[in-house]
Amino acid sequence: MTSDTDERAEQPAAVPILGRGPSSWQKRRARKEGLSLARSARRALHRHGHRLSKATRDEIAEVTTELETAARKEDHDATCAAMVKLDDLEHRHLAFAKKSASREYANSIGMAVLVALLLRAFVVEAFKIPTGSMIPTLEVGDYIFVNKFIYGLRIPFTKIKFFEWRKPKRGEVIVFIYPSDPDKDFIKRIVAVEGDRVEVRKDVLYINGHEVPHEELDGLRPYQDLVDERTGQWDEKFAHAVREEVNGNSYITIHEPHPSYQGDFPRDGSSSYTVPPDSVFVLGDNRNNSHDSRFWGPVPLENIKGKAMVVWWSSGSPAGVRWDRLGHLVE
């Protein structure tokens, strides 16, 4: 009569079933998670070890080393076992450290949001171009960054400036609060500053009695403009292109061949208009399709938000995304 022990000894060894072992992907994942858990435990010990007893610190350090060794040797079973042990130790002795980590993440996110808000308030802000009044410099659907720091620091949501580095210059493209409606922002080009005498006759700009240097470029140029914002209807138009130069800034303006309004200014028959103190006179580069200072007067300096810098995204018209405009400097 044989014993139970002898019967078990006579049984053949179990044959591994194909597919039951961990896959290579599972091994890699366990190794990665094990090393990550070990790093987390060592950071927690470094920051909060003084709050634990020496025996507890030694135990956690020993299991952490055990986990790192198993993971580096790619011993899957030992790695998983060490992860379970270390996770249990952290849960029992370092739960407060995990709460501190959550607070640290929350503080980091809060600080990032605060920095973003400060940058938006004082340094750079993003704007979208909704109309074609600045074509070809800026097209409908261009997204631009505006330098709010260049002219000085303004208290957010007010027109009060507590630092002023310099005043806006002729030729610069600016974003400003529309004088007739403080809830709207406009973007135009400065062509004259305080004390300048302005005149526009037959699409030619005069500053202080002198014709602004300009060169008419050959032929009519096609361009796409949004004619109805409600329906999203676009239309192809044609215009003459003229290169102007103001205060050393060279840029292109466009003029329709047969506009309904030619844009002569002043419209009251006087010879010129003098820009008042602390103000600028602005025009759109799309001269026959721009609602600007010729209609509602000058822009007070306190209304200016900043100087247009660069196009960071552009989409619209039948072309969709306009990749060639990305990074386009606003000049």
Please identify every residue annotated as catalytic. 133, 188
Separation between Cα atoms, residue 87 and residue 51, nearest integer Å = 18
Task: Find, among 132, 133, 253, the residue nearest to 200 by Cα.
Answer: 253
- Phi, psi dihedral angles at 170 (to 5 degrees): -60, 140
Separation between Cα atoms, residue 150 and residue 238, nearest integer Å = 36
Task: Find, among 284, 311, 275, 301, the residue nearest to 177 by Cα.
Answer: 301
Question: What are the Cα distances from residue 1, in Å, to 11, 12, 130, 167?
Answer: 16, 20, 98, 110
Beta bridge partners of 242: 216, 253
Separation between Cα atoms, residue 148 and residue 168, nearest integer Å = 12
Question: What are the Cα distances from residue 295, in Å, to 90, 139, 207, 268, 326?
Answer: 71, 22, 18, 12, 32
The position carrying tokens 């249990």 is 88
Cβ partners under 8 Å of residue 144, min gap 6: 126, 127, 128, 129, 138, 308, 309, 310, 311, 312, 330
Separation between Cα atoms, residue 150 and residue 190, nearest integer Å = 15
Task: Find, among 285, 329, 326, the residue nearest to 309 by Cα.
Answer: 329
Q: From its phi and psi, is residue 116 left (phi > 0), alpha (psi between -120 and 50) or beta?
A: alpha
Q: SS3 of 92, please? A: helix
Indicate the DSSP class of residue 194: T
Which residue type occupies 242? V
Answer whether 206's CB lies under 8 Å from 191's CB: no
